[in-house]
Structure 1
Amino acid sequence: MTLSRLKPLRRLSHHLHRRSLALTAAAVRQDTTHWTQTPLVKVTPAAESLFHISVDISDYPELATSYTKAGQYLQLRLHDPRTRPAFFAIASPPSITASEGVFEFLVKSIPGSTAELLCGLQKGDVVELSPAMGKGFDIDRISPPENYQTVLIFATGSGISPIRSLIEAGFGADRRSDVRLYYGARNLHRMAYQERFKDWESSGVNIVPVLSQPDDSWIGERGYVQAAFARAKRTFSPRSTGAVLCGHKQMAEEVTSVLVSDGVSSEKILKNF
C-alpha cells in the first residue's frame, strides 16, 4: 500500500482511538458518582404543576451529613434507563434532614422530563440519590445581622425551594430590621408554601407575593418580581444590605442590576440557580 493511502487510514485510526478514550473517560467520570437507593415517603401536590417530594435517608446518615448549608442540591435518578439524572435543590433545612432523616424537595413537573416521572411515583417507590453538592448560600458574606440590617430575597417559581431551606435554617432575620421576600408566580394556584407564610413572617421575613397573571380580585403586587422591586421605595443603606436570589435568569440579572446601581456590593448578592 502506498504512503498516500496509509495517511488517511492512520488519521482514521487515530480519530477512532481518541473517540474510544473519550468514551472511556466519560464512563469513568459517570461511575465516580456514588448512588444510594432510597424510598419515597411523600409525593403530594404543592401547587399547580408543583409537588412535595420527600425521600427517606434514615438508613444512610452519610447522605444527611453531606448536607450542611441551605442552597445545596443533589442528583436524583430513576430506575428507568431511558431517563437521565436530574439536579434538585434541597428544600428542607439541614436540621430537619439530620433529625428526621429525610430530604424534601419542591419539584416542578415538566412534560417529558425526569421531574415529571418523579412526580408520578408513589410512596415506597425507590429512587437513587447522590450526596449533597454545591457550596450553598454563603450567609457569612452578609453576617453578622447587626452589620447587615437589610436582606432582600428574590424567588420565582420552584426557586422558592432553597429559599425555604434558608428561611427555616435561620439566618438571623429576627435580628435584622428589614428582611423582605419578593416571591413571584403566575397566580396563587402556582404559588407553593403559602401554608408556611405565617411561620416565615413570625421569624422576621416580610413576604411580598408578586403575581404575573392574577385574577381580578388580587390587590397585591402585579407583574414580575424585578418590576415590583424597582417600583418599591428603596430606603436601605447599601453598605448594610445583602441579597439572596433564586429563580429565572432574567429576574436575577435585572434585580442584580438594580441593586448594584443602588450601591449594593456584588459580593453581597448571593445567587443560586
Structure 2
Amino acid sequence: MLLRSAPRRLHLLRPHHLRLLSTAALASAAPAPVPPQAPTEWAEAPLAAVRPATADASLFHVSLDLSAHGDLLASHAAAGQFLPFRLPAAPYPIFLAIASPPPPPGSSAAAFDFLVKRLPGTPSARLCDLRPGDLVHVGASVVGRGFEVARIADARDVLVFATGSGISPIRSLIESGFVENNKTGISLFYGVRNLQRMAYQERFNDWEAKGVKIVPVLSRPDSQWTGERGYVQEITKVLVADGLSKDRILTNF
C-alpha cells in the first residue's frame, strides 16, 4: 500500500495536451432510473464471492461466477462497461460497472468482479447482503460503450478522476493494459471521505508499478493526514473553465 501527498497541489493543474477520464457520478454509486438499454433477456448466475472492500464496509467486493455463460463473458469488450442486475423485490434493475478487465481472447477468466456501494435500503445493499452460491439474475450481455480511449490517442498526459465506488471501472481500465499500451503519464486522483472508505489500496503498488501515479484526495481526513484534501468531482469543472475542451473528457456513461 502506498499513500502519499502529490508533488503538485490540485489548484495548480493546467490543461496541456491532457486527456481526462472521469467517473465522478458513476451509476453504481446509487440507484438510478432504468436507462433505455435495459435488457430484454436475462441470465441466472451464482455469486462467487461477497466481502467488504473497505475498512468501514461501505463498499463490497462482489464476484459473479459466469463459467456457464461464455457469451456473456465474451460481450465484455471495453473497460467501463456495465452489467444489469435484477434483484428480488427491487422495482428496477441496477447497472454496475465491471471492475475486472475485459477477458482477452483465449482467457480462462470465468467471472466478473464488481465494487458495490452498500447504501442501506437500496437494491445494491440487498446484493451486498447475499452470500456466495446465491443466484442472481443479470443481463444476458453487458451494456454501454465503455471508455472510448481511441478518441484521445494523441494525448501525452492522462488525468484520471474517480470517487468512491467510481474507482471500479478505473481498475478495469488500468488492468486491461491501457497504461502499458499508451506509454503516457497517468495520474489517478481518487477521492473519498477518509482512508477507511478507500477501496483497492492493496492494488496500489501494482498500479504504480504499471506507471500510474496515485493521488488520494480526502474530503474529511483525520488530523494525521498530510496529503491532498478536497472534492475530486470539482476538478473537471475547473479544467473546463480553464480551457480544456469537453471533447478531451471521457466518461463511461
User: Could you say which TM-score interval applies, normalised by the shorter chain?
Assistant: 0.7 to 0.9
Instruction: Tell me which of 189, 210, 215 is aligned to 1:182.
Output: 189
The aligned residue for residue 94 of structure 1 is: 102
The aligned residue for residue 241 of structure 2 is: 261
Which has a greater percent of helix? Answer: 1
Q: Is the 8 A contact 1:51 1:109 kept in 2?
A: yes
1:63 aligns with 2:72: yes
For 1:74, what is the secondary structure of its paired residue? strand
1:155 aligns with 2:154: no
For 1:99, what is the secondary structure of its paired residue? coil
Flag structure 1 segments of 5+ consecutive residues without an equivalent. Answer: 1-28, 226-250
Larger C-alpha radius of gyration, 1 or 2? 1
Letter in 2 for 1:94: P
Q: Deviations over 1:178-198 (max 9, x none)?
A: 210000000000000000000
Shift in Å, 1:162: 0.5
The aligned residue for residue 251 of structure 2 is: 271
Q: Is the 8 A contact 2:218 2:229 kept in 1?
A: yes
Q: Deviations over 1:186-219 (max 9, x none)?
A: 0000000000000111111100000111111111
For 1:194 and 1:30, the matched residues in 2 are separated by 33
Q: Write out aligned runs for 1:1-273 (5 A).
A: 33-47=40-54, 48=56, 49-78=58-87, 80-95=88-103, 98-130=107-139, 131-143=141-153, 147-173=154-180, 175-225=182-232, 251=233, 254-273=234-253
For 1:158 and 1:177, the matched residues in 2 are separated by 25
Q: Is the 8 A contact 2:80 2:145 kept in 1?
A: yes
Letter in 2 for 1:63: L
TM-score, normalised to structure 2, is 0.79
The aligned residue for residue 25 of structure 1 is: none
Q: 1:32 to 1:115 in 2, by over 3 A?
A: closer
For 1:123, what is the secondary structure of its paired residue? coil
Shift in Å, 1:32: 5.8
For 2:75 and 2:97, the matched residues in 1 are separated by 14
For 1:117, what is the secondary structure of its paired residue? helix
Q: 1:31 to 1:114 in 2, by over 3 A?
A: closer
Aligned residues: 214
Q: Is the 8 A contact 1:110 1:116 kept in 2?
A: yes
Letter in 2 for 1:223: G
Cα RMSD over matched residues? 2.1
Flag structure 2 segments of 5+ consecutive residues without an equivalent. Answer: 1-35
For 2:237, what is the secondary structure of its paired residue? helix
Q: 1:151 to 1:83 in 2, by over 3 A?
A: same
For 2:76, what is the secondary structure of its paired residue? coil
For 1:267, what is the secondary structure of its paired residue? helix
Q: 1:121 to 1:96 in 2, by over 3 A?
A: farther
For 2:239, what is the secondary structure of its paired residue? helix
For 1:268 and 1:31, the matched residues in 2 are separated by 28
Letter in 2 for 1:136: G
Q: Is the 8 A contact 2:50 2:60 kept in 1?
A: yes
Q: 1:31 to 1:105 in 2, by over 3 A?
A: closer
Q: Is the 8 A contact 1:69 1:135 kept in 2?
A: yes
Q: 1:152 to 1:173 in 2, by over 3 A?
A: farther
Letter in 2 for 1:208: V
For 1:158 and 1:92, the matched residues in 2 are separated by 14
Letter in 1 for 2:115: L
